[in-house]
Amino acid sequence: MRFDIITVLPGLLESPFGHSILQRAQKKGLVEIVVHNLRDYAENKQKSVDDYPYGGGGGMVMSIQPFASCIEKLKAERDYDEVIFMTPDGITLNQSAANELSIRKNIIILCGHYKGIDQRIRDIYVTREISIGDYVLSGGELPAAILVDAVVRLIPGVLSDETSALSDSFQGDLLDAPIYTRPANWNGHMVPEVLLSGNQSVIENWRYEEALQRTRDRRPDLLDN
Ligand code: ADE
């Protein structure tokens, strides 16, 4: 799988993919993540990537030309399944969208800035608009990193059996049960007795009940399905 991320702030994306699971997935050749500096594609002398909005109003708007040139260049090199625009007015990212994207081959991600991007980029190129939640960030880079992380860990071979994505919160419509490690007694704060019992079926049952209770308390909407 390959991600091409187009941004005016490539420096913001230097680190998020260089650690732990994402780094290993790239080293194993399971995913390739390429970051493109939008400014490199600006054809004007000043290398500017934005302009004033038609009809007035505050803030700058990202222009069509640099995005179009970069997207067209990439599309001439390989086929893309999706061109995703990260935006607070997109559809909120959830586990089922991440699952769906994890079986795609090549994905372009556009990061917006300033007041937004010229609507025609969205009309011509974008296949999907994704938000990471109902709050506004300064740009689409951190949302893009979150999307890539959520998708890459679902690619077969990225996680080992022990850390399998199948046991994640949300994967089974329930939040995770509480977990503990040694010591069993921390200044009188004890690990629940049942986890020390060694009785696996009783432990599984306890975990299920705890997960159900946590989901009822925190995210009853997940149980509506
Ligand atoms: N860009 C700015 N805020 C965003 C959000 N909440 N989700 C996706 N992209 C964004």
- What are the chain's domains? 2-152 (3.40.1280.10), 173-224 (1.10.1270.20)
Phi-psi region of 151 (alpha: psi -120 to 50; beta: other; left: phi over 0): alpha
Tally Cβ neighbours within 10 Å of residue 123.
8
Q: Return the pLDDT at 172.
A: 73
For tokens 């959520």, the residue is 150
Ligand 1, atom 2, lies closest to the CA of: 137
Ligand 1, atom 6, lies closest to the CA of: 88
Question: SS3 for 71?
Answer: helix
Q: How far apart are CA 117 and CA 61, in angstroms?
A: 5
Within 13 Å and on the Cβ side, how many CA atoms surround 76? 6
Within 13 Å and on the Cβ side, how many CA atoms surround 176? 8
Terminus-to-terminus CA distance in the chain, angstroms? 31
Consecutive 10-residue averages of pLDDT for the chain (225 residues): 98 97 97 98 97 96 98 98 98 97 98 94 98 97 98 95 69 90 98 98 98 98 88
Pocket of ligand 1 (CB under 6 A): 86-88, 112, 131-133, 135-137, 140, 143
Q: Return the pLDDT at 167.
A: 63
Residue type, 80: Y
Alpha carbon 56 to its chain's center? 33
Q: How far apart are CA 134 and CA 93, in angstroms?
A: 11
Provide the ipTM: 0.98
Q: Return the pLDDT at 168.
A: 76
Entry pTM: 0.94
